[in-house]
Structure 1
Amino acid sequence: MEPAGPLQREQQARQDFRRGAPDRADGLSASFAASYAGIIAFMAVATEGSFSRAGERLGIGRSAVSRNVQKLEAQLSTRLFLRTTRSTRMTSEGERFFENCHQGVAQIVAAMNDMLALRQGPPRGLLRISAATGFGRKVVAPLLTRFSAAYPEISLDLLLDDRPPDFTADKIDVAFRNGRIEDSSIIARQLIPMQMAVCASPAYAARHGLPLALDDLARHECIHTRVGGARVLEWEFKVDGHLRKVLPTARLTFNDPDLVLAAVLDGMGLAQMAGYQVCDLIARGALVTALGRHAPDDRGHYLCYLSRQHLPSRIRVFVDFMTDAIRAQNLHCLADFGMDYANAGPAG
């Protein structure tokens, strides 16, 4: 048999390494586990000066502390303590090991305390928020000044985007979402019902009348909203207890709800808009509504986050603050107004 060349020897070495890797990994895991328990026990004894007091501090028995230290000494082939019936003190090797370990253990303790502070301490840190463009601009953003004044150690990063947020990829802590929540992997707290109203300016209603039935929409100038860069929002209605979606022919389409509202106020046509956009304008008479008997009633404005468990205090206080502040506003108000303006003129 010819002797193996360099390439064959390298391939054989890789195969040997792969075959031995599980054994080495298991050995490493066992070694680390033993070392970690031993180091914690060692640091406690060195700090307390006693195996008994170290056990009390760690919440384990004196014998368990002693076993962990003995295993560590065996691993290191070094005696770390001189023990008598009256006293326990470190050897010179133990003192050197203590100095080398102290900084690392202190950093671990600091890291754990920092995590506990995020959960239990004063709210602080960065809070990344996602919201749909219209709701974020009209409702969420104006409340952030008050929130920041109440919690000055929390930094806020607000992302306005009409697409459903990717909590993981976008590093989102909390998200405001509209409509219906069908994702069971998130926690969704409903803030208020999401009312939808077909609206027009009084000037438009005087010129063209208002639709009295869904089929009348085909004879009106309509304005659409585009979301996510491509999808045009269908108009939703409730007919005989069932959801019906309609996409009337549009004269204008915008990818910003504020532009849709501005066009409606200018008398350019009808649009179906959310109650939070139009309640104050309806109250002032700047807008009139139609087809109210067919308004959908199964939508909502939600505040969403990934889990209730181990929720950092900065998220808890933000969720509670926004829930109270938004519910206190008059954004669920369409029931206060006549929804159908049959006297505004004939449909057509």
Structure 2
Amino acid sequence: MDKKQLLRRALTTVSQAAENFDHSLMVALFHAKLLFVLDNFDAAERECRRALRMETPNDPNWDDIPPMAALGADSDSRVSYVKKQLHVLLKQIIVVAALYWSSMKNAPQGQRVVSVTVDTLHAHYDGIDKSAAKTISDATRFLKNQESWSFWICLNSRCDGKKFSDTSSLWQHTCSKHRDELWGKLQSLIDPEYWENTSQDDHSLVGITLSHQSDAFLLPRVQDMFESLLLSPSVGIQAEPFAEMRQRKCREGSEILGSIREKLRMLPKDTLSTEFQECCSGIEKLWLKFLEVTFVDYREIILPLARSYQWIELKKRIPFYLNHPGTRRIGFADANIDIICGKVPAAQ
């Protein structure tokens, strides 16, 4: 029986220990390294992140086994040492994945990584996050109907986040449905170009497109994902839920409107005075900030959701590549099984 077979047998016991001793950094690190050596990169990454989230771990202690497994004169130093090892292991996972991608990006297997059908992505999130699945459906429907990812939202709670494709539509809706003396005063002061037929550049987020022919999201810029992961390996790929984004934008937009009201209240009567012109300039800047805050691009949410799925799928494919006859094993997964009980070597 080779070493890897023995390690696979040990994995069940170690996984159970990690569950039973869920505040042990040392067990988590051992578990993560074992998963890595056994080519279970996704699970290894999850275990690293679980360990890094521990605020009050029970270890490492000075008498841990093996001796000197965690260096440091005091508890904080030893915890810091182990967490550095976890960070290094996370980077190793990303490096192995990046090397795999470099060798496979032009092959058929690589092409399957850069796209995911709408149905597949929806089904993935429908099982783990219903709100994300709904956002995927809403975004796809909106894009197909409007031929755009972006829109402005109405802040009024009665409108339930009603969408507008340009600022002119938003302005007309607001003036007709939410009558307020603010709008008349504002319209008389700011340049019409700031509220008439303003649309947002739809090319600010180019990492994702929708192929209508295959009904699939295309994510060709895989290298961007690796760069982002390497910058923040412990954070990973995160998407702000649409409901939270909308609430945040409504809150910030309402605060800006409050500031505009205050400036209008303090507006000097002398329209030729310097103070009047400065106040108008400040109001225009606030209005532009309001338009920026209330603008939504679905790609801000769909891109990280799709990237997260893409990252999971890419990690699943790595073992098939590593274990293919003739493939030169990469990273330390093949180099030295003894790292399970030792220091994680730095990513190359």
More strand by share: 1
The TM-score bracket by the shorter chain reads: under 0.3
- Between the two structures, name the one with larger relative contact order (CA 8 Å, sep ≥ 6): 2
Structure with greater helix percent: 2
Larger radius of gyration: 1
Q: TM-score, normalised by structure 1?
A: 0.20
User: TM-score, normalization: structure 2?
Assistant: 0.20
